[in-house]
């Protein structure tokens, strides 16, 4: 005699365990089959080059070949190189310090201008035209950006726009890219001009996604535009701002082409060098593959925490999505 089933339960033949296992295994093989191309690309273009570079950094690496094991000699030499990091004076100088300067100024200015334009453009009639003008530099290759600003910063008033303006006001021409105290700031501003459009587009799309009912309710309750921005819009933009920040920071760490074109040789006395420029210069110009690989490993160590922060932000329940 069968036992009566509980009220509300569905009575039916149970799937045999062996059949259920077969279905699971079959689904697993199908998933593995579809994942295989991505895994192959991941191994060939990411995992293998990373391991190869790390191993090469412990080698002399002449001609990008494994010739002589040198241990940590490349890293010791790297941090003793004053063009990479010079702590003997204050403020410290070197490629690593220049990267920190880029991280702070370039990232901060791009976010500031991008957010400012995204917020203000929504309040004018010609929003589309303004956004298109700001976004146009994003379509220009970094090499072209470097050439454009090289002409803008030219010390010859007949060529350089800035020095033509300064000359018209009665001032003397300034070698923006030839002076140690101005070269980094000039390059940073040029790249901000080229990248702020990306931050503006992403943040503008995020602003458009905020419910207008919430904004109108806040206005009805007497909130000012400044309070609406600070207490409603800005918190809701936390995730897009984090995404844009990570993208900008990674751009800074791998920055090379703008500096290579605008300031050949790394500027006056190497004052515009950054980590990626040092890696290229040592590997291909100096033929020191192991030394260049050590610089690349430092770049990797800088990028990993940034990516970890980005993943944590996406998984955090505190982020408003």
Residues with Cβ within 8 Å of 238's Cβ and at least 6 positions away in sequence, in order, are 319, 320
Residues with Cβ within 8 Å of 62's Cβ and at least 6 positions away in sequence, in order, are 287, 288, 289, 290
Residue with tokens 């535009």: 225
SS3 assignment, position 81: coil
Tell me: the pLDDT tens digits for 59-116? 988 878 888 898 899 999 998 888 898 888 888 889 999 999 999 999 999 999 999 9
Whole-number average pLDDT of the chain: 85
Q: In angstroms, rounded to a whole number, what is the distance separating the alpha carbons of residues 160 and 166?
A: 10
SS3 assignment, position 302: helix
CA atoms within 13 A on the CB side of 202: 23
Q: Which of the 8 DSSP states describes residue 91?
A: S
Label residue 26 by pLDDT band (50, 70, 90): low
Q: In angstroms, rounded to a whole number, what is the distance separating the alpha carbons of residues 280 and 257?
A: 10
Burial class (CB in 10 A: 0-12, 13-18, 19+), 232: middle
> Are 272 and 263 contacting, i.e. CB atoms less than 8 angstroms apart?
yes
> Are 192 and 109 contacting, i.e. CB atoms less than 8 angstroms apart?
yes
Q: If one looks up domain 73-315 in CATH, what number appears?
A: 1.10.3720.10
Q: Residue 5: is its pLDDT beyond 80?
A: no
Residues with Cβ within 8 Å of 304's Cβ and at least 6 positions away in sequence, in order, are none
* pLDDT value of position 114: 93
Tell me: the pLDDT tens digits for 140-190? 988 999 999 999 999 888 888 999 999 888 888 899 998 988 999 999 999
SS3 assignment, position 125: coil
Q: Residue 262: is its pLDDT beyond 50?
A: yes
Q: In angstroms, rounded to a whole number, what is the distance separating the alpha carbons of residues 115 and 230?
A: 12
Q: In angstroms, rounded to a whole number, what is the distance separating the alpha carbons of residues 138 and 144?
A: 11
Q: Which of the 8 DSSP states describes residue 252?
A: H
Q: Around Cβ 166, how many Cβ atoms within 10 Å?
A: 15
* pLDDT value of position 279: 92
Q: In angstroms, rounded to a whole number, what is the distance separating the alpha carbons of residues 66 and 163?
A: 50
Q: In angstroms, rounded to a whole number, what is the distance separating the alpha carbons of residues 149 and 189?
A: 10
Label residue 291 by pLDDT band (50, 70, 90): very high
SS3 assignment, position 16: coil
* pLDDT value of position 113: 94
């Amino acid at each position: 005699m069968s036992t009566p089933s509980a009220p509300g339960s569905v009575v039916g033949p149970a799937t045999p365990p062996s059949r259920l296992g077969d279905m699971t295994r079959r689904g697993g093989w199908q998933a593995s089959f579809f994942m295989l191309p991505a895994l192959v690309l991941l191994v060939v273009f990411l995992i293998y080059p990373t391991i190869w570079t790390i191993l090469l950094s412990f080698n002399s690496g002449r001609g990008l070949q494994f010739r002589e094991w040198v241990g940590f000699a490349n890293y010791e030499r790297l941090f003793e190189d004053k063009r990479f990091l010079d702590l003997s004076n204050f403020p410290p100088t070197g490629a690593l310090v220049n990267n920190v300067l880029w991280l702070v100024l370039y990232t901060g200015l791009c976010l500031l201008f991008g957010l400012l334009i995204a917020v203000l453009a929504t309040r004018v009639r010609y929003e589309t035209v303004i956004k298109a003008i700001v976004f146009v530099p994003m379509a220009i290759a970094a090499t072209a950006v470097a050439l454009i600003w090289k002409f803008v910063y030219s010390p010859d008033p007949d060529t350089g726009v800035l020095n033509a303006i300064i000359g018209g006001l009665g001032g003397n021409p300034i070698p923006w890219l030839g002076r140690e105290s101005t070269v980094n700031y000039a390059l940073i501003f040029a790249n901000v001009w080229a990248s702020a459009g990306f931050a503006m587009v992403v943040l503008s799309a995020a602003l458009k996604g905020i419910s207008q009912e919430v904004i109108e309710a806040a206005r009805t309750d007497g909130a000012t535009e400044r309070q609406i921005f600070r207490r409603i819009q800005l918190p809701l933009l936390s995730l897009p701002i984090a995404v844009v920040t990570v993208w900008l920071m990674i751009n800074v760490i791998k920055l090379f082409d703008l500096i290579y074109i605008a300031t050949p040789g790394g500027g006056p006395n190497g004052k515009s060098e950054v980590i990626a420029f040092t890696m290229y210069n040592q590997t291909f110009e100096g033929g020191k593959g192991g030394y260049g690989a050590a610089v690349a490993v430092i770049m990797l160590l800088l990028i990993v925490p940034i990516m970890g922060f980005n993943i944590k932000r996406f998984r955090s329940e505190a982020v408003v999505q």
